[in-house]
Structure 1
Amino acid sequence: MEAVLTVLDKLMIMFFLMLIGYVCRKKKIVGDAFMEEFGGFLTGVIIPCFVISSLQIDYTPELFRDGATVFIACVIMHIWGMIVGWLSFRVLRVPQKAKGIWIFSCMFANIGFMGIPVIAMIFGGSSVFYCAFGTFAFNIMSYTLGAVVLQKCSENPDKNKVNMKKLLKAPVNVATVVGILFFVLNIRLPGPIKDTVNMVGGMFSSLAMIYIGGILGKFNFKETVTEKWAYAVSFFRLIFIPLSSYFILKPFIHDQLILGVIVVGLSTPIGAFCAILAAEFGADEALASKYIFVSTLLCIFTMPLFFMLFL
């Protein structure tokens, strides 16, 4: 019972933080330009600091092995999501124009903006270390395989080519590589720099929730919640994929914390990068935004089910 109350308490905090962003967007306290810059600030500064900060711990072979386990498992589960997305698209006869968005939505959860802060709140600080490896897998897969899916399924696949070099140089990926090198080589940041990085990274959880609320505040509520395919894809993203992943991984991963980080991360809603990359590679950005909106609303009810598996 105490664990249930803890989860509900954390979810209420998340909800109120998202509500701040939602109200600010609806009341036009912030606009589109601010949100775009805010998102860039999060991905370019806040998240890299958060990742480096989480990897500033003493190296042990066991920790590195566990981190590698998270990375490999997440890569495999992203591929599993692609298979589920492709099969469900065919079986349910989803409209052809939604193909790239549908498959991408099944592949990638919002591990960065929602998964990390929620996992940190529920499982504690030690879980953040594993989140860094999961986020690394997410970034590599979404910026490569995910981008290719969107580009190939767009209306003009020859126009929007994937720039792999640019994608792999994303600040989050660079920060993860640097953080892992520092971890393996036992390199510690000097006191003032470490404290600065910790303070900046420490803002991530609250700012990410406010940002997500701001994204939701952009949309017409009635128009968005009547998109029927958004509920279908949300079922796969929020329930089928994390639940099937739990049963796939359980025989191989016996550490409950590691398994919990992966499964709870996969139970988060459709990643915000879906809309960002859709715009870049010629897919339907508006449809992606509707999927993100509906899945984010529904996750408030579905995510606690997965917390209960590990508490």
Structure 2
Amino acid sequence: MAYFSIVLSQIIGFVIYILIGIAAVRTHVLTSRSLGVFSQFITKVTMPILLFVMTLNGATRQQFISALPVLAVSVLLYFLLYLLCRLLARLFGLKGNENHVYRACAMFGNIGFMGIPIIAAIFPKQGMLYIALFTVVDQLLLWTLGVNLTAPVDKENAMSPASRLRKMVNPATIAIVLAVIGLFIGLHLPEPINAALTKAGLLTPPMALIYLGGLFCYIDLPQSLRKQEIYVTVAVQICIFPLVF
């Protein structure tokens, strides 16, 4: 029951952030252009900071090595999800950009915006170790495979292998690599710097949900809700796949 109360309070907070985003757009405080800036700030500044601090502070080198099976399980999970999403996209007859975006959305979740705050609230000590390990796999795949899936198909096919590799080098992947290196060499940030970076990184979940709320104002929700693949994906990804896995 205590876990339920913690999750419920977190979800209420998420809804409030989304409503703030909607209100900000409706009152013209945020526009489609400023939402784009919002998104850039989250993905290129606060999210990399959050990933760096969380991974660096989430475990020691010994803990990281002893919990390496979690990395293997995470890789297996995403490998099976990748195959499942390809199958679902084929069953729904999705082509081109729609196929790629569907697979990206079905394969990856809002781990950084929703998953991390909930797990951190329920398991404040041991949970951070597993979050750090899982995030290494999740975010590396999201910012490499995920970025490729969300690129326009015509442009993606025209890109050279070198260009694709350059796309995989971004603030998020750099932050994770630096954090893992720092973890293995025993890097400890001075407390004032660590505290400041932690607070900056924790801006990510509320800012991302405010952005999401604002984005709802520019989406044709009735048309989106008529897409049957959304409901099948929710049932498979949130209910059936976790139980089977």
Change (3 A) 1:57 1:75: closer
Change (3 A) 1:26 1:230: farther
What is the rounded CA distance, in whole Å, between the counterparts of 2:72 and 2:199 in structure 1?
A: 30
Offset at residue 239 of structure 1 (A): 2.2
Matches for 1:232-251 after TM superposition, within 5 Å? 232-245=232-245
- 1:231 aligned residue: 231
Aligned residues of 1:117 and 1:204 also touching (Cα < 8 A): no
Offset at residue 160 of structure 1 (A): 5.0
Matches for 1:123-134 after TM superposition, within 5 Å? 123-124=123-124, 126-134=126-134
1:64 lines up with 2:65 in the alignment: yes
Runs of 4+ in structure 1 deviating by more than 4 angstroms, as ranges, are 147-151
Change (3 A) 1:206 1:106: closer
Question: Unaligned stretches of 5+ in structure 1?
Answer: 246-311
Residue by residue, what CA displacement relative to the aligned partner does 1:226-265 show, whole Å, maximum 9, x if unpaired?
22322222322322333333xxxxxxxxxxxxxxxxxxxx
* Corresponding letter in the other structure for 1:226: R
Aligned residues of 1:10 and 1:122 also touching (Cα < 8 A): no
What is the rounded CA distance, in whole Å, between the counterparts of 1:189 and 1:23 in structure 2?
A: 38
Aligned residues of 2:18 and 2:209 also touching (Cα < 8 A): yes
TM-score normalized by structure 1? 0.68
Matches for 1:11-160 after TM superposition, within 5 Å? 11-54=11-54, 55-56=56-57, 59-66=60-67, 68-90=68-90, 92-97=91-96, 98-124=98-124, 126-149=126-149, 154=153, 158-159=157-158
Change (3 A) 1:35 1:149: closer
Change (3 A) 1:58 1:82: closer
Greater shift in the superposed pair: 78-87 or 130-139: 130-139
What is the rounded CA distance, in whole Å, between the counterparts of 1:50 and 1:146 in structure 2?
A: 19
* Corresponding letter in the other structure for 1:169: V
1:182 lines up with 2:189 in the alignment: no
Aligned residues of 1:22 and 1:213 also touching (Cα < 8 A): yes
Aligned residues of 1:78 and 1:107 also touching (Cα < 8 A): yes
- 2:9 aligned residue: 9
What is the rounded CA distance, in whole Å, between the counterparts of 2:2 and 2:192 in structure 1?
A: 38
Question: Unaligned stretches of 5+ in structure 2?
Answer: none
Residue by residue, what CA displacement relative to the aligned partner does 1:74-101 show, whole Å, maximum 9, x if unpaired?
22211111111222333x3434353223
Change (3 A) 1:99 1:18: same
TM-score normalized by structure 2? 0.83
What is the rounded CA distance, in whole Å, between the counterparts of 1:244 and 1:93 in structure 2?
A: 22
Offset at residue 225 of structure 1 (A): 1.8
RMSD across aligned positions (CA): 2.7
Change (3 A) 1:226 1:238: same
Higher relative contact order (CA 8 A, sep 6+): 2
Aligned residues of 1:18 and 1:211 also touching (Cα < 8 A): yes
